[in-house]
Chain A
């Protein structure tokens, strides 16, 4: 089977642009990236269905028919992409409602631990005396449960 070069190139362009957009911090740009990526992949399925000019329909004209299975698969993929797009749009809207921003934030806890590491802050480590100091004589050693 000779694949259709035009479709292959088109799929490559779509996937390339899709990946570029997907890497963006903006939710909407990333969503557009996912859509382009999805369309590029669907074209790949069409490529896999056989040479161009054939329909995946029995008894249509004289020529041989195209393989209908990849068409069914890309239909499934389209439906799934649609559902996922709906969900991401809802999420982007909610994010906008909450923060008036379209950008994905960093995880605050992750950033906090990273900053501590950069500042070489050992105060929470097990090898730092401060927090786990021995109780003074006369102090209740385990006040946690005293009730």
Chain B
């Protein structure tokens, strides 16, 4: 079995790379910022490499179990531990895939700074091909990915906080690209909400350390059993509150629909896909590893129900497509919280599947909203119209992920929801059944919200004639520019990834089932980090 040990050694060498490579790539991309082509090549090469590595890591984690690296050779609990299990590896793979799609879309859009302040086509051409705005999109996107991977593969609570701050700092920059009045307004409230949630996380960290003397997840997992139940509950609630703000769980979700829609399309897309899911991931990790004995089921079930319903009712009321999508994003976080609340193998497995599905679909839909804006000149449903005739391709690109989000049967949204419902029905209880009813209602209302966009933007007679140029040639150019292959192909690729989730749903559910089983056995995690003797 020499081969097997070699492979495992190699896997261990690969573990830190999803964090390291994007950072190195970001540095290089910043160095070559004046040379657009070179910068693009650097970013694309980095992401391709990270994608390949994370795929290998997922395979390795599924085949050989947990991969643990002690950074710098420092033995835990002194040093920082990196741990890749099936959940972490799967999250990294999905994150890299959507970031890649978004990056290609941004490249297709032009300089990558993707600004269109005035809304007119001619100015868009100038800003996206000229020196303005800033060549910092690529490095910042890579730093964001690095922060996201840090959070996923870290085995240390404080290191997770550092990962959060990395991705937050990058997201601040991305959200306020170009610093127009609208973005600065949205940016200020987003920044303060994020800082507040980080502060709550930091308070929780100080208290965790005061109570247990460690921030190593594996060590915490054993030590939290020994402290008084009340203290442990306080720590759990603090951590959950901090993560719930990031994940936009209902009473703490108001910031999201105000912040996201103003950013450029690729930025909103990558935020919608990744940032809230990092919060969900942190909730899964702490709930299963640190507090397996106290699922707080009633609290989380209520939060899930309210998140679903309040979110989707908000979506129905919106006129702007990006705002509508932001509200559905909040609403569907409820499904993932439902799976976490159930805390059963089936529930967690379906929840993880749903996270993978939702990252892909929500990112795709925001990119499509970007395409709609490019073609129709607006994302307001009261202004758009007749797009199905103007561009059947756009209609297909919107229709498939929209049906997927609404949970139409062959698609992965349906599979994830059925998985959650099965898990809920296994558990029983009136509140769980109320949640199942709520999730069906949410799914129907999601369908209503996305089909409103369909009937208004795509089918109906346009109310406002699109602003076009007098010149026929120029008009043709504008049309070609709006839906250039550079932006359509990445979107189409992500739509296909979303469809492919249905095709590979069997093996994927296999992985998530094993991931859930792994999560529900914290002793295995502790053993992998410390061996048999826990300090």
Taking beta carbons and an 8 Å cutoff, which residues of A are in contact with B?
3, 15, 22, 27, 30, 34, 37-38, 41, 44-45, 47-48, 67, 69-70, 73, 76-77, 80, 83-84, 87-88, 91-92, 94-95, 98-99, 104-105, 107, 109-110, 113, 117, 124, 126, 131-132, 135, 141-146
User: For the complex, is B134 an interface residue (Cβ under 8 Å from A)?
Assistant: no
> Chain B residue with minimal CB distance to A98?
B181
Name the segment of B383-391, B413-421, B434-442 touching the other chain: B383-391
CB contact under 8 A between A99 and B181, given known A107-B258, A141-B461: yes
Partner among A37, A41, A47, A76 whose Cβ is within 8 Å of the Cβ of B162:
A76
The answer to whether A44 touches B162 (Cβ under 8 A) is no
The answer to whether A110 touches B181 (Cβ under 8 A) is no
The answer to whether B195 touches A145 (Cβ under 8 A) is no
- Shortest CB–CB separation between residue A102 and chain B, in angstroms? 10
- Docked CA distance A105–B182 (Å): 10
> What A residues does B388 contact at CB under 8 A?
144-145
Total contacts A to B, CB within 8 angstroms? 122
Partner among A3, A37, A70, A124 whose Cβ is within 8 Å of the Cβ of B199:
A37
The answer to whether A47 touches B319 (Cβ under 8 A) is no
The answer to whether A143 touches B461 (Cβ under 8 A) is yes
Chain B interface category by residue count: 35 or more
User: For the complex, is B27 an interface residue (Cβ under 8 Å from A)?
Assistant: no
The answer to whether A87 touches B191 (Cβ under 8 A) is yes
The answer to whether A109 touches B461 (Cβ under 8 A) is no
- Docked CA distance A70–B207 (Å): 11
- Shortest CB–CB separation between residue A57 and chain B, in angstroms? 16
> What B residues does A83 contact at CB under 8 A?
169
Interface string of B180-198 (1 = CB under 8 A from A): 1100111111011001100
- Shortest CB–CB separation between residue B245 and chain A, in angstroms? 13
- Docked CA distance A132–B385 (Å): 10
The answer to whether A44 touches B452 (Cβ under 8 A) is no
DSSP class of B's interface residues: helix, strand, loop or mixed? helix
The answer to whether B209 touches A48 (Cβ under 8 A) is yes
- Docked CA distance A146–B466 (Å): 12
> Chain B residue with minimal CB distance to A8?
B210
CB contact under 8 A between A91 and B176, given known A3-B210, A132-B460: yes
Sample of 5 A–B contacts (CB below 8 Å): A107-B186, A109-B323, A132-B455, A143-B461, A144-B390
The answer to whether A104 touches B189 (Cβ under 8 A) is yes
DSSP class of A's interface residues: helix, strand, loop or mixed? helix
> Chain A residue with minimal CB distance to B386?
A144
The answer to whether A77 touches B184 (Cβ under 8 A) is no
The answer to whether B461 touches A41 (Cβ under 8 A) is no
- Docked CA distance A107–B199 (Å): 25
The answer to whether B184 touches A48 (Cβ under 8 A) is no
CB contact under 8 A between A113 and B317, given known A22-B192, A104-B188, A142-B461: yes
CB contact under 8 A between A142 and B386, given known A91-B188, A126-B452: yes
The answer to whether A34 touches B390 (Cβ under 8 A) is no
The answer to whether A77 touches B319 (Cβ under 8 A) is no
> What B residues does A47 contact at CB under 8 A?
206, 210
User: For the complex, is B179 an interface residue (Cβ under 8 Å from A)?
Assistant: yes
Partner among A44, A80, A113, A144 whose Cβ is within 8 Å of the Cβ of B319:
A113
- Shortest CB–CB separation between residue A69 and chain B, in angstroms? 8
- Docked CA distance A27–B158 (Å): 28
- Docked CA distance A44–B461 (Å): 62
- Shortest CB–CB separation between residue A24 and chain B, in angstroms? 10
- Docked CA distance A16–B313 (Å): 35
- Docked CA distance A91–B71 (Å): 36
| Candidate in B78, B188, B386, B463 with the most chain A CB atoms within 10 angstroms | B188
> What B residues does A34 contact at CB under 8 A?
192, 195-196, 199
- Docked CA distance A108–B498 (Å): 33
User: For the complex, is B202 an interface residue (Cβ under 8 Å from A)?
Assistant: yes
- Shortest CB–CB separation between residue B457 and chain A, in angstroms? 10
> Chain B residue with minimal CB distance to A43?
B206
> What B residues does A109 contact at CB under 8 A?
261, 319-320, 323
- Shortest CB–CB separation between residue A10 and chain B, in angstroms? 14
> What B residues does A15 contact at CB under 8 A?
203
